[in-house]
Structure 1
Amino acid sequence: MEVTTAECRTVVTGLGAVTPNGLGADAYWSAILEGRSAIAPFSRWEPERYPVRVGGEIRDFAVREHVPGRLRPQTDRVTQYAIAASDWALADAGVTVSDFDEFDVGVITANGCGGFEFGQKELQKLWGTGPHLVSAYQSFAWFYAVNTGQISIHHGIKGHSSVVVTEQAGGLDALAHARRLIANDTLKVALCGGLDAPLCPWGMAAQIPNGYMSEVADEARAYRPFDRQAAGYVPAEGGALLTLEDHDEARARGVERIYGQIAGYAATFDPHPRTGRPSTLPAAIRGALADAGLAPDEVDVVVADAIGAPDLDAAEATAIAEVFGPGGVPVAVPKALTGRLYSGGAPLDTVAALLMIRDGVIPAIPQPVDIPDAYGLDLVAGQPRETPIRCALVIARGLGGFNSALVVRAV
């Protein structure tokens, strides 16, 4: 008989984060609490011909320190980040794959952009020199599923492994799918989350047409979610992988530190804007709370999607106020210091939510924010807010209509 997620306490036992303002969950968390922004002018290419000039680049990742030599020529930057994050997430959980039965460990990742930079270099070879110089690794290095494949090979993981492609909501969808697999006893351990790395000329060319990217060149003003001066989002790279297990089985193998429980999840899809029908984001939030068995007043903080575009910010603010009441819950936006990491953003927000629960503090947007009164948001800005946190809701929205909501709570 299938076991429902409500009958299984799926918990997070390990964190692995690769972010623009820190490598590793601890470095990222310290930067967020200190209000250190990683948004800056692009450094890997000359962006003068592009309308988008700033973003969240990872500048301190030494690939030789994190990726085996045989993998370097066959992997895009995003896969190199994913391999490092997988090493850290498993080590943090104390998981040695060989200690488990052959098919008990799996990998579920989300990816929204593929290996843009690798593909760009190979296309430059194709048109600049000739097809004989195009790498055979191009056949898979660009692909959305390559992170799952390379992680499973790297760690010898043979259990259920898959990829979720639902734009920027995909990271939460991957965590939720992993939770289902553990609840149904398909897996004992799931390595899950998402990463993206689209910061290259081809990556920019693919994203600019969406119309939501900020063209403000001042890094201090380019990305101002929920602000009256919001002008869109700035792109970023990186993300996070989390190690998930059943609570009782984790305790039985001697795990002492558990970050929290994946307690609830729901997803919806918005109608096309031309229909004039409202967003279904409130239904996703209510569905996640219902799945967790919680009332709105039991949520201590909401980690917002916060795209930074006035129309989408207004829709998200309306959804939060509709469910929790105007000013009814503190709202955090950690990605204001990194930029939007595409499918890596929501897993990283989940890491932040779990660390908020652990430390009893909500990180702040460091600069003052001018929020329209109609939004009704209690946005944490200026200084971090110390407060007991037992439960957090993470929201992720993908362009095209994807909505996901995930509840994490203390164990």
Structure 2
Amino acid sequence: MSDRALITGIGVVAPNGLGVKEYWNATLEGRGGIAPLTRFDASRYPSRLAGQILDFDPAEHLPNRLLPQTDVSTRLALVAAEQALADGGVDPAELVDFDLGVITSNASGGFAFTHREFANLWSKGPEYVSVYESFAWFYAVNTGQVSIRHKLRGPGAALVAEQAGGLDALGHARRSLRLGTPLVVTGGVDSALDPWGWASHLSSGLISDSDDPDRAYLPFDARARGHVPGEGGAFLVMEDEQGAVRRGAGQVYGELAGYAATFDPHPDSGRPPALRRAAELAIADAGLEPSDIGVVFADAAGSADLDRTEAEAIAAVFGPRGVPVAAPKALTGRLLAGGGPLDVVAALFALRDGLLPAVPYEGETPDAYGIDLVRGTPRPTSARAALVLARGRWGFNSAVVVKAADRG
């Protein structure tokens, strides 16, 4: 019996493209989605750029009954999940509902929704608070709403590990497949671009204060000054191999072959960060050696200390400049739980098309980092496996290995 976890459908909601084709074309062309924040007047804030999803009208994608009860992040999740199911040719009505699971990640919950309702509570009174506040704020709401809308009654879960959580959701989905669930809709999205959400981003002290959209977020660059927050992410349809064959899946993008998660020790412990260990465990879990990995999709924090730590981990696993490093989130900003799954999408398409996406800016990677960052234009590759890394604040590390689809 095979325990391969195949990816057969993809949905993307990203600042530089709605839909997987739009996102991938923009990424290869170096078209970004970072721009001045327009959700509110951010002129008095020290940072004013964000990766926003513009020209998105939820009424064009969702039933009217869902609009009053959903936050921005849930609307994006519903659209990404529907895209993934349609892309995979999955009609839940034709399958057994208890064989279909939903496992998602979300780091901030329904920020804009709940802060609006808090404002109503404080300024008008409790009778003006929406009844939907009881669940619209919750981290698990995306799992619930996707499950309800598509009648997916199999295993459900929601994982919270900031930027690392999206990869954790994919790893947990693979575990569910191995425990007997034939198909899981999985991934992550986030959106926290309202005034309170923006304040929470700024509180990290890691946000770029540049007003130049093309120079604000420069991961692994000597001029790095922090990252740009963004919104969106990606959802995947993941199936066990027998289930995909039985269903007659028309396409396979690739395989989630390895997964691992670690947690950093306390900074005063004297022990090293655990990202390297996560990478090594994920590669081993995939049954591969570091030499089998043709590209690393980096966490790419965009801050000197964090970039240096990640670069040291990559160089320790692969040797100095031993593997190309891609950082497509430089085009979108960091999407919290949505960042890892979106990087997995980029990795799958890079393996499929034989092209590694480049960071769009010219610059200088410090020699001490010892990494081979893909810059300027996409780089041809014959890679058949990719490592995707993600780190969340407070010590979360996650890593997945994806393999290219078998060539027919």
Interval containing the TM-score (normalised by the shorter chain): over 0.9
**Are residues 1:33 and 2:28 paired?**
yes
User: What residue number does 2:376 align with?
Assistant: 382
Runs of 4+ in 1 over 3 A off after TM superposition: none
Instruction: Measure, in 1, the Cα distance between the counterparts of 2:110 and 2:331.
Output: 24
User: What residue number does 1:404 align with?
Assistant: 398
Checking the alignment, whether the CA contact within 8 Å between 2:215 and 2:361 is kept in structure 1 is no
User: What residue number does 1:358 align with?
Assistant: 352
Query: Could you give the per-residue CA deviations for residues 213-259 of structure 1, whole angstroms, max 9, x where no partner exists?
Result: 11222222211101111111110000000000012321232223100
Structure 2 unaligned regions, length at least 5: none
Instruction: Measure, in 1, the Cα distance between the counterparts of 2:141 and 2:48.
Output: 29
Query: Could you give the per-residue CA deviations for residues 17-56 of structure 1, whole angstroms, max 9, x where no partner exists?
Result: 1000110111000000000011110011111222221010
Query: Could you give the per-residue CA deviations for residues 362-382 of structure 1, whole angstroms, max 9, x where no partner exists?
Result: 011111121110101110001
User: What residue number does 2:77 align with?
Assistant: 82
Checking the alignment, whether the CA contact within 8 Å between 2:15 and 2:33 is kept in structure 1 is yes
Instruction: Measure, in 2, the Cα distance between the counterparts of 1:389 and 1:83.
Output: 33
**Are residues 1:260 and 2:254 paired?**
yes
Query: Could you give the per-residue CA deviations for residues 280-300 of structure 1, whole angstroms, max 9, x where no partner exists?
Result: 111100000100011111101
**Are residues 1:93 and 2:95 paired?**
no
Instruction: Measure, in 1, the Cα distance between the counterparts of 2:251 and 2:311.
Output: 34
**Are residues 1:250 and 2:268 paired?**
no
2:352 counterpart letter in structure 1 = R
Q: 1:106-255 to 2 correspondence within 5 Å?
A: 106-185=101-180, 187-255=181-249
Mean CA deviation greater in 126-135 or 241-250:
126-135
Checking the alignment, whether the CA contact within 8 Å between 2:106 and 2:158 is kept in structure 1 is yes
Instruction: Measure, in 2, the Cα distance between the counterparts of 1:166 and 1:37.
Output: 26
Checking the alignment, whether the CA contact within 8 Å between 1:301 and 1:331 is kept in structure 2 is yes
Checking the alignment, whether the CA contact within 8 Å between 1:213 and 1:232 is kept in structure 2 is yes
How far apart are 1:349 and its partner, in Å? Answer: 0.3
Checking the alignment, whether the CA contact within 8 Å between 1:361 and 1:389 is kept in structure 2 is no
Q: 1:59-74 to 2 correspondence within 5 Å?
A: 59-74=54-69
Query: Could you give the per-residue CA deviations for residues 304-331 of structure 1, whole angstroms, max 9, x where no partner exists?
Result: 0001011110000000000000110000
Instruction: Measure, in 2, the Cα distance between the counterparts of 1:316 and 1:126.
Output: 44
Instruction: Measure, in 2, the Cα distance between the counterparts of 1:203 and 1:292.
Output: 37
TM-score normalised by the chain length of structure 2: 0.98
User: What residue number does 1:302 align with?
Assistant: 296
Checking the alignment, whether the CA contact within 8 Å between 1:17 and 1:241 is kept in structure 2 is yes
Instruction: Measure, in 2, the Cα distance between the counterparts of 1:146 and 1:252.
Output: 31
Instruction: Measure, in 2, the Cα distance between the counterparts of 1:247 and 1:35.
Output: 35
3-state SS of 1:210 partner: coil
The share of aligned pairs that are identical, in percent, is: 56
Instruction: Measure, in 1, the Cα distance between the counterparts of 2:319 and 2:363.
Output: 20
TM-score normalised by the chain length of structure 1: 0.97
| Residue of 51, 56, 60 corresponding to 2:51 | 56
**Are residues 1:320 and 2:320 paired?**
no
Query: Could you give the per-residue CA deviations for residues 94-150 of structure 1, whole angstroms, max 9, x where no partner exists?
Result: 111122223100100000000111011111211222222111111111110000001
How far apart are 1:276 and its partner, in Å? Answer: 3.1
How far apart are 1:271 and its partner, in Å? Answer: 0.9
